[in-house]
Structure 1
Amino acid sequence: MSRPRGQSGARRGVAVIVSGTLVAQLLVLAAYPILTRVFTAAEFGAYALVYAVANLFFPLAALRVDALVPLPRSEDEAIDLVGFGLRAAAGVGLLGTAVVLLVQAWLFGGGEGSWRWLWAAVPLTALVAAFQVVNAWAIRRGRFGAIARRSVLQAAVMVSIQVAAGLGGAVAGGLLAGLSVAFVVSIVALVVGSGLPREVLTLRRGDLHGRAGAAASLSLAGVLNGAGLQAPVLLVSAFFGLGAAGQFALAQQAIAVPAALVGQAVSQVFLSRLSAHVRETGESGRTIFLAATRPLLLLAVPAGLAALLLAPAVFPIVFGDAWRVSGEMVAALSVSLAAQLVGAPLSQTLIVAGAARTQLAWDASRVVAVVASLVLADLAGASATGAVWCYSLVNAASYVVGWVLAYRASSRTG
């Protein structure tokens, strides 16, 4: 009887997070036809560049403590991990911002284009790290309702500020301001909604409890994983300019809708259920792994086909003719999207199985493959869209390999 109840709880968790994420993504999509008409592709490119840097380095800010929080049997140990992660993120944010501002002023003066806002990557990195740590606590506690409400609130705050800034004549800074304030609000909402003990915020409490080695490995793996995800934005910007990076950023935002609805929701519930199963029974998690794979496959194929066939025609109508290239890039990303919808949520299995080295090796190989695909495409004289096709095919192959590794690791979770 325990298995059906577990499956029912998982379904409810997925349903709650999916509903919140759906509303959040609809809010973001509703704002984009406005944002794409008040911000230029280059301004989107600068915004995407800064956010890519933040997502690349946030694992270092808190040593990927967020990946460790759901694992300990002891609540006190988990709380200590949360406290450590929050203080580490705060320290990196305060010290790092000061250092980067000084260096940027010395090397570039006021800076132009993307350089003007590059300093913002450091506090944004700290905010992303703190958010991930608090969100991990909510996952551990099974507070899926709080996670869903946070998704809606974060989207509403972000797009409200961004639209207001755009209509007021702001440039990329308006996009970054909306994103940053939204993360602050989300962190506060999760602290309240997840029941995080106040002592974590008021006392000097925080200890890795002998998990420093795992934290270091996961941090490096997190940076490599981020490099695999963010390298396309950075390289498209370097090879084809901020305008092309802006087009690619909008394409990624469109792809993020199904990825968030399916991948993020399933991964959080899957991690919570698999971790609890291992803690409480000590048995293999392969049955849970395969049960999660089947519905992901059924969703991935139609999502990929929709992106391939519909995006090139729909994008100029919805976002304006200036964003036609984004629709073509979404079609190129369709293969990567389908593979990501299956592989990304289940990659959490490697963490639960304690296979940090396997995770590190996979992340490292994916970075090399992704970077190589874009560099070779540029050397071959491919267009920005052609380079995205190359990236998409290579990225899809890497997720297939990741699924195989996670499947093998699922038998060792016990």
Structure 2
Amino acid sequence: MLNLVITLRQKTHEVWRSRFVRSVAVVATGTAGAQAITMAFAPLITRLYGPEAYGVQGTFIAILGVATPFSALAYPISVVLPRRDEEAIGLLRLSAYISVFIATLMAVGLWLWGAVAISLLEIESVGRLIYLLPVAILFAAWMQMAQQWLIRKKEFGVIARSALANSGVLNSARALLGFVHPTGSVLIVLASLGSILHALLMWIGIRKRTTINRSEPLEAPSLGIIELAHRHRDFPLYRAPQITINAASQSLPVLMLSAFFGPSAAGFYMLSTMVMGMPTALIGMAVSDVFYARITEAAHNSEEISKHILRATGVLAAISIVPFSIVVLFGPWIFSLVFGAEWGVAGEYARWLAFFFFFNLVNKPSNAAVPVLGIQRGLLFYEVLSTGGKVAGFLLGFYWLNSDIWAVAIFSIIGIFAYSGVMLWIYLCAVRWDRDARRS
């Protein structure tokens, strides 16, 4: 027994000394602080603004979430992959050019056909604030570019501090303006300004903390913009559509609830996803960012990728099962107590979304390994099938059962099967990768 205790203590010590765990802890600490600030303000902000204002903000954020992946055609994600910094900088430059072009194109399109778009999408609640989209999309792209460079350089502390500062400023502004003008338009403007602030904070951190490694031997001349765009063409061809479809699958419930059941239902859904998404934001994104850098390094060093994926997935499942189970059991009571009696319906949504977000969280390591394994085309195919199933389930809940809660429930159940299937597929691809690597 004593030997077992000593062995467990040694293993625990080894885990906490590992660079991977320490990096995850740094990112998670910053994210935890940001989420703690958000949750500290949430009881006040939900009482100031109400479900309808949250629903209006949710509609805008849903549209932004669908449009953002195409803001730089997913090229920023490729910044982590090259061995040489010169090629990564070229990808940043390419991403910047594309983001400016697409934001300008969107601004012109909204200027010409903005009213038509508002009518077709039935987003009259957002109204003329839709013209903020080009600015928000541009800075969302620049924020992603900065984050991927920081991941490449393993400057996870800068990511953490930026998230913390952005959350503090943004939530303070929401609370202060909520006493003066508690409307959805205020939340939309602040959400747009938040993406600008977050991008600026990370770029300031880059200037202070990162350097370009010029000591690597140049095996070939530096590639130009066109060559880089062609070499990493699988990102705009497969990853950008995949991320867009994934964002649509998460954003469509907000738009559909707003259209079918009114802005208040969308507001309930927004709050429930904000709370249920906290473990994903707190732990999942930290693991995803660090794991992406680690799995890329593992591939360069011919390590067994499948073991890394399996270990990270198991750890996430073990630490997240308890908090999600609590929401399943006591969701409506918790939401009514914390956010006010009028938010009890959000707790009913959260009960079902707890299952969905549990699988969303444990899927992060698998998803981070996709670019390294080179299976982005397959991920796009999965995303099309998954999103189609989720939308069909949501429509079934509305048209057949005429219930917003059942629509959310069916959406979640289909999402559980989809996440389970894609994790199994990615793991089998990693096993095949390891087998091929041993043969070569």
- After TM superposition, is the score higher than 0.5? yes
Counterpart for residue 114 of structure 2: 104
Given that 2:52 and 2:264 are in contact with CA atoms closer than 8 Å, whether structure 1 keeps it comes out as yes
Q: 1:44 to 1:345 in 2, by over 3 A?
A: farther
Q: Which amino acid aligns with 2:191?
A: L
Alignment partner, residue 26 of structure 1 = 36
Matches within 5 A, 1:209-358: 210-279=231-300, 281-358=301-378
CA distance in 2, matches of 1:334, 1:69: 33
Partner of 1:387: 407
Give the Å deviation of 1:321.
1.1
Q: How many Å separate the matches in 2 of 1:352 and 1:39?
A: 44
Structure 1 CA distance, aligned partners of 2:154 and 2:425? 27
What's the CA shift for 1:106? 6.6
Correspondence for 2:168: 156
Residue 181 of structure 1 and its aligned partner are, at CA, apart by 1.9
**Cα 1:269–1:6, aligned 2, differ >3 Å: closer, same or farther?**
farther
Contact kept? 1:304, 1:334, Cα under 8 Å: yes
Equivalent residue in structure 1 for 2:147, among 131, 135, 140: 135
Matches of 1:192 and 1:104, distance apart in 2: 34
Q: Distance in 1 between matches of 2:328 and 2:236?
A: 39
Spell out, residue by residue over 1:147-174, the C-alpha distance to the aligned partner (whole angstroms, 9 max, x if none): 1101101211211222222211142121
Gaps of 5+ in 2: 1-13, 213-223
User: Residue by residue, what CA displacement relative to the aligned partner does 1:31-68 show, whole Å, maximum 9, x if unpaired?
Assistant: 11111112131221111111111111211110111221
| Greater Rg over alpha carbons, structure | 2
Distance 1:380 1:212, change over 3 A: same
How many equivalent residue pairs?
A: 403
Q: Aligned in 2, Cα 1:6/1:410: closer, same or farther, shift over 3 Å?
A: farther
Match of 1:47 in 2: 57
Shift of 1:239: 1.8
Q: Deviations over 1:281-305 (max 9, x none)?
A: 1343112111211211102321220
Q: Does 1:363 align with 2:375?
A: no
Q: How far is 1:124 from its partner?
A: 1.9
Q: Cα distance, 1:396 vs. partner?
A: 1.2
Structure-2 separation of matches of 1:344 and 1:385: 27
Q: Is contact 1:63-1:215 (8 Å) kept?
A: yes
State the Cα distance separating 1:92 from its structure 2 match. 2.2
SS in 2 for 1:128: helix
Distance in 2 of aligned mates of 1:39 and 1:124: 22
Flag the 1:107–1:132 CA change in 2: closer, same or farther, 3 A: closer
RMSD of the alignment, in Å? 2.2
Q: Describe the shift of the 1:73–1:209 C-alpha distance in structure 2 as closer, same or farther (beyond 3 A).
A: farther
Which residue, 193, 197, 217 being the options, matches 1:185?
Answer: 197
| Partner Cα separation in structure 2 for residue 403 and residue 108 of structure 1 | 37
Contact 2:313 2:365 in 1 (8 A): no
Moved more, 291-300 or 123-132: 123-132
- The offset of 1:359, in angstroms, is 1.0
Q: Contact (CA 8 Å) 1:344, 1:399: kept in 2 or not?
A: no
Corresponding residue number in structure 2 for 1:166: 178
**Aligned partners of 1:32 and 1:319 also within 8 Å:** yes
Distance 1:223 1:7, change over 3 A: farther
In structure 2, C-alpha distance between the alignment counterparts of 1:381 and 1:310, rounded to whole Å: 24
Please state how far the C-alpha of 1:108 moved relative to its aligned partner. 6.3
- Where does structure 1 lack aligned partners over 5 or more consecutive residues? 199-204
Give the letter aligned to residue 81 of structure 1: L
Q: Is the Cα–Cα contact under 8 Å of residues 28 and 160 in structure 2 kept in the other structure?
A: yes
Deviation of the 1:105 alpha carbon? 4.5
The structural deviation recorded for 1:144 is 0.7
